[in-house]
Structure 1
């Protein structure tokens, strides 16, 4: 009996968009299967179809069997009983998966409470400690926004593995984790359950943790087979393109001609509740260069970016933006509107879910333009990042996380910033889309922008950054 058997799965959303067409996929009992493909190809839709979490009005045809039992058409009450016990789920976006008003400990405990059980004494903190969360008692009492994306992803993984389900669906579970922690978390998921469907853009990670691979393109399966075989000798052009884009060569061109420092941090310290996230940092980023920051999850990288962009005031030290002190009043002073633009770690939450794409993309533009002009500009900008076929009237909720990230990058660049800070800009993207975004950031620097990037993907970062520094426990090393 297979842990998961999908046959002829076709999914059509309420707006008529057919996301999956005749998909067949099998995860054998105890097997580990990888699911890869470009952003928007239908990977997350397939996972949500198995869980019964597709939007109301979505038409689903075909068959989905979990442990030999058909799940399509079953009432919500029965599906709810299966989630967490028969099927574990690690969501792609840990922030969206958590209620911002509840503590992290309550989100992990909900894995038991949702099924009328109480978590064993000390189980929540013990399991968080098992995935590398330090100072666990204090941390567990915090709210999701006080955790980094990588830390929160580890917490959602702990919740998914709470009942050691026979099947675990992991949708980009390591996109916010450094390589060492990514392997540890996937080992935890595999040890907790007996079968795994791993959705990931990280082909090297898929090769290490799966036995077989399924490649999606345009909602259809274009290739499947043993992971090692497909990743070393791909037959389909889509697979070959993914493999080729997964190993970017390091940047070897001569150092660029850089201009004046656009951001200068001198002895900067930023703490939360008395615990320093950034401590005594000196840093400068010049016009025309890409500076990359790497480090383990929770090391203070995202806080560094927010301080550098003037989004947070340091507790001590000095921040200069465009040669002037940023904090001469109650809020940071920027040389002009759009001078500093951020690309946030959580792309879905960074886009207004009520606004069509054209409005989001063109919001930073100076002056006033007609709707028709803004729509044309938005369409042109989407085409630059491989989204030429996406309707500018669509809402962010109809896009994949990877597509939302590309929209967020476009919105930042359209303002023509002098400083761009990007927090994990390629974390949720397939390798082909990541290469596109990397080239956009590189092009922005070549045109004179100062670019500060945080990333766990050091090989990708090395393909377009001029310098890379490492952060460790709030300090640059």
Structure 2
């Protein structure tokens, strides 16, 4: 039986001269699950796009790629992969239309129900779904025709651990073979038969997933394993009056109640974590705290509302960055009173603080990886010197080393007196970073 995927000597150079992949060779046998891991910007997503034939215009690809039929695809960013004017149901049924077929009666509904999604919600549009819900819908579409190979780029980055395992099980059932791009080493160990480690565009180590976690041999692999978060540690909770008080907040979208009853008190310098299953109301709660949406019920007390007093870090970091602005301008957007040269210098300093000192500050977001975009978005929020930062999945899609840098940055922000609220599905991250952690379940927050 021929392999589902065979890549030989693959090198990719973008139009601006960036060499994203350097002589990559790997094989995915029929029925095999191969995970590709590595630091943000190591070339993981470029590999996925090359296999799918989705490299941008002007990119030069050398080497060979052979696949067994047409692969299924789960995009890293489900929001940008969807047409905002089309319903979610339209996007799921597109799997059949793209193959010149008509979706059988009830097939789309069965595909989303298998991933614990409400069938009735297929009539809604992408912006009405949470990131995790929309990610599951894209997984339903990718596996609809049971392809010989499915390429999944960070398919569980916005999902809690239990739901991530459910999704991986569903992917495994629908795909003959699976190429998973992921930053989650523990997920790779649970679900992949082999792991390939990318570093600076090349494969530096391959082997069984459990062996790589227990006995990593390349320095890059060892650094990724060493940076795995642990729930131990945490911070000494600062004392003082509440800076923000939310009582019995509620918010609905039509007939759907996203937040039913949430109360929270946050002090200056405190880091508060919120976790819950996908669709439980986490992102809506953050939008309420940030003042981006009004609550339907309950009270929210903020001592002031000056510009920049509260700064959000959105779950979809790439979409929150102006695609036409160089990143120095994005990072220093709150510093409108400074000259451009001084703003660029501040941006260079900020980029170096989160491990992005190698980037040209004139780079635009389209040339950044998703993880790099997330760090730029956090730097922009911090640059405003806010009293409150609300961060929605700030380490989603980041490798362990980059996630540790982001967590350290948020900790530094809090130690400077800023209150921080972090939504994450990663309980180990929250346990090590936060003073207090709350669960939200079906829109109701528990103490």
TM-score, length basis structure 1 = 0.92
Does 2:261 align with 1:277?
no
Post-superposition offset of 1:404:
0.3
The 5-angstrom pairing of residues 157-168 of structure 1 reads 157-168=139-150
Is 2:313 the counterpart of 1:343?
A: yes
* Correspondence for 1:73: none
Task: Name the SS of the counterpart of 1:60 in structure 2.
Answer: strand
Deviations along 1:276-301, one digit per CA (max 9) or x if unpaired, are 11113221111111100000000001
1:84-121 deviation per Cα after TM superposition (whole angstroms, max 9, x unaligned): xx201100001011011110000001111122211110
1:435 aligns with 2:404: yes
Aligned mates of 1:407, 1:247 — CA distance in 2 = 22
State the 1:252 CA deviation: 4.5
1-structure distance, mates of 2:415, 2:233: 13
* Contact 1:250–1:464 (Cα < 8 Å) also in 2: no
Instruction: Report the alpha carbon displacement of residue 249 of structure 1 after superposing the two structures with TM.
Output: 4.6
Q: How far off its partner does 1:260 sit?
A: 2.9
RMSD between aligned residues: 1.1
Are 1:307 and 2:277 matched, yes or no? no
Tell me which residue corresponds to 1:401. Answer: 370
In structure 2, the partner of 1:172 is 154
Cα offset for 1:371?
A: 1.4
Hey, what does 2:71 align to over in structure 1?
Answer: 87
State how far apart, in whole Å, the 2-side matches of 1:256 and 1:193 are: 46
Indicate yes or no: 2:204 matched with 1:222: yes
Alignment of 1:140-159 (within 5 A): 140-159=122-141
Q: Find out whether 1:4 has 2:5 as its counterpart.
A: yes
| 1:376 pairs with one of 345, 350, 355 | 345
Q: Secondary structure at 1:283's aligned position in 2?
A: strand
CA drift of 1:257 comes to: 2.4
SS in 2 for 1:476: strand
**Cα deviation digits, residues 344-384 of structure 1 (max 9, x gap):** 0101101111111011000012x422211111111111111
Report deviation, 1:317.
Answer: 1.4
- Residue 100 in structure 1 maps to residue 101 in structure 2: no
Cα displacement (A) at 1:259: 3.3
Q: Which runs of 5+ in 2 are unaligned?
A: none
Q: How far has the Cα of 1:47 moved from its partner?
A: 0.6
Cα distance in 2, alignment partners of residues 455 and 223 from structure 1: 30
CA distance in 2, matches of 1:312, 1:247: 33
Query: Could you tell me how far apart the structure 2 residues matched to 1:356 and 1:443 are?
Result: 26
Cα distance, 1:2 vs. partner?
1.1
Counterpart of 2:34 in structure 1 is 33
1:466 aligns with 2:435: yes
Distance 2:379 2:428 in 1: 23
Q: Is the partner of 1:206 in helix, strand or coil?
A: helix
**Aligned partners of 2:234 and 2:435 also within 8 Å:** no
- Cα deviation, residue 432, structure 1: 0.5
Q: After TM superposition, which residue ranges in structure 1, 4 or more long, deviate above 2 angstroms?
A: 255-260
Looking at structure 1, the residues matched to 255 and 210 of structure 2 have their Cα atoms a distance apart, in angstroms, of 48
**Distance in 2 between residues matched to 1:22 and 1:197, nearest whole Å:** 18
**Could you list the runs of 5+ residues in structure 1 that have no partner in the other structure?**
68-81, 325-333
Partner SS, residue 451 of structure 1: strand
Whole-angstrom CA distance in 2 between matches of 1:157 and 1:279: 28
- After TM superposition, the structure 1 = structure 2 runs for residues 129-278 of structure 1, keeping only pairs within 5 Å, are 129-134=113-118, 136-137=119-120, 139-253=121-235, 255-278=236-259
How far apart are the structure 2 equivalents of 1:250 and 1:399? 32
SS at match of 1:291: strand
Task: Tell me if 1:363 matches 2:364.
Answer: no
TM superposition shift of 1:256? 3.1
Q: What is the rounded CA distance, in whole Å, between the counterparts of 2:113 and 2:237 in structure 1?
A: 44
Contact kept, 8 Å, 2:229 with 2:432, in 1: the verdict is no
How far apart, in 2, do the equivalents of 1:284 and 1:348 lie? 30
- CA apart distance, 1:247: 3.5
Structure 1 contact 6–65 (Cα < 8 Å) conserved: yes
Q: Which residue of 2 aligns with 1:447?
A: 416
Cα distance in 1 for partners of 2:67, 2:258 equals 44
Contact kept? 1:292, 1:469, Cα under 8 Å: yes
CA distance in 1, matches of 2:195, 2:99: 33
Deviations 1:173-210 (A, max 9, x none): 00011111111111111111111111111111000111
The TM-score normalised by the length of structure 2 is 0.98
